[in-house]
Amino acid sequence: MPCVWSKKRDVSSCGGKPVKKVFVTVGLGPAGAEACSLLRLKDPDAEIIVFQEEPYPFYSRVRLTEYLGGQLDPRKLVIKDDNWFKDARITLYKGEKVEGIDAKEGICFSSQRRVSYDALLLATGATAFKPPIKGADLENCFTLRTLDDANAILSVAKYAKKVAIIGGGILGLECALGLKKLGLDCVVIEVAPYLLPRQLDAVAGKFLQDILESKGLEFRLGCTTNEILGDGKVKGVSLSNGETIEVSFAVIAAGIRPRTDLALALGASVSKGIVVDDHMKTSVEGVFAAGDCAEHKGKVYGIWPSAEAQGRVAASNMAGTEATFEGIVPSNTMKVSDVPVFSIGALDGDKIVVLQKEGIFRRFVYDESDRLIGAILIGTLKERQKIVNAITQKQGYEPTEV
């Protein structure tokens, strides 16, 4: 258990030892894990304390759908285990929720302890969003955000025949593909007229749909779920196109909402997420935020690379080394039944080039200066790094032969 100092720097409780800085991280997703790792490098002598609400060490949420499909041993989900934290001399409180923060005194507290801090990072992440659909509170209606969520889905999947996936974004498709591997029939319901509306255009979305339909997935596009039907448990879904589909359970994959409750209680500025500046500072002195809970220049990224980058910037500034977050170009990579899908940057521009052949789709978006500002790849990742470099360096790009 770490030695805890008060904000007044009373070292008597620490046996008269020189005062060390105390850094606290609330949350252990990619932002929190990256931050505490860098804090240890920046300040080898500091006390570093991490509160993790879940009873697990740092694991990969983005691989939960692989676990769901039986492709991944749950032990391989873990990225940094208990031994890693022990070796790094970082105190990890698992299964412990921070219930409040007194920023004036520099104290945060859970139901089990009070900890003083010099700087605190809110890396509380996000929760899965459940739209106000009638029946969304029925038993066997799930979201997929945590390992416990995945285990709950698996507990009913082994007795099920058909599942409705409400949402045709990345998570929805990967969830459907995972459950398909378990032998379930899957129907994906998406309000947009094509798949992955945030990452793809209509042509690419149809190209991907054809691939997925050939793998056995069903789709209902351009319609909404009016009601999730059932008497206690899910038995079906009623759609806006007038159709009713009988299913054994449902998974809602309708996006995320930043967790801002602690920041709101602190009086920190909150809009879509916890508002931060370029240094990842909140409006409250000594409190930083990073990852899916943070809003930077009006944007909540909600993707792993930005969370890691923000965690590093926050840690540097907490440790007294100036660093700035200047945003990133959003990109996503997924694998659909062994077919890679990659998207980055803008979907529209002044010039669009589409190159297509059997099993491969490529789309490139250019601005008025002929610089590459966006791209979509389906069926190949051969050019991915060159495309990323061209967009981040604001350069032109000539597609290569594939």
Q: Which 3 state secondary structure label does DSSP give 110?
A: strand
Q: In this structure, what CATH number is given to the domain that contains residue 123?
A: 3.50.50.60
Q: Are residues 113 and 17 in the same domain?
A: yes
Boundary-marking domain end, from 197, 220, 252: 252
Q: What is d(CA 284, CA 269) in angstroms, rounded to the nearest whole number? A: 8
Q: Are residues 40 and 95 in the same domain?
A: yes
Give the least confident one: 7-21, 61-75, 215-229, 282-296. 7-21
Q: Are residues 46 and 66 in the same domain?
A: yes
Q: Which 3 state secondary structure label does DSSP give 179?
A: helix
Is the pLDDT score of 184 beyond 50?
yes
Would you say residue 201 lies in a domain?
yes
Q: In this structure, what CATH number is given to the domain that contains residue 375?
A: 3.30.390.30
Question: Using CB atoms within 10 A of its CB, is residue 35 exposed (0-12), middle (13-18) or buried (19+)?
Answer: buried
Find out whether 257 and 209 touch, Cβ atoms under 8 Å: no
Boundary-marking domain end, from 318, 347, 371: 318
CB atoms within 10 A of CB 190: 25
Per-residue pLDDT tens digits for 214-236: 989 999 999 999 999 999 999 99
Would you say residue 62 lies in a domain?
yes
Would you say residue 326 lies in a domain?
no
Q: Are residues 84 and 228 in the same domain?
A: no
Would you say residue 145 lies in a domain?
yes
- What is the b/e burial string over 305-314, where b = at least 16 CB atoms within 10 angstroms of the residue's CB? ebbbbbbbbb
Tell me how many domains the chain contains: 3
Boundary-marking domain end, from 213, 228, 252: 252
Q: What is d(CA 288, CA 348) in angstroms, rounded to the nearest whole number? A: 34
Position 3 confidence tier, pLDDT thresholds 50, 70, 90: very low
Q: Are residues 19 and 121 in the same domain?
A: yes
Would you say residue 5 lies in a domain?
no
Position 6 confidence tier, pLDDT thresholds 50, 70, 90: very low
Range of the domain at 300: 11-127+256-318
Would you say residue 324 lies in a domain?
no
Q: What is d(CA 296, CA 235) in angstroms, rounded to the nearest whole number? A: 41
The C-alpha angle with vertex 56 and arms to 54 and 60, in degrees rounded to 5, equals 100
Per-residue pLDDT tens digits for 50-78: 999 999 999 999 999 999 999 899 999 99
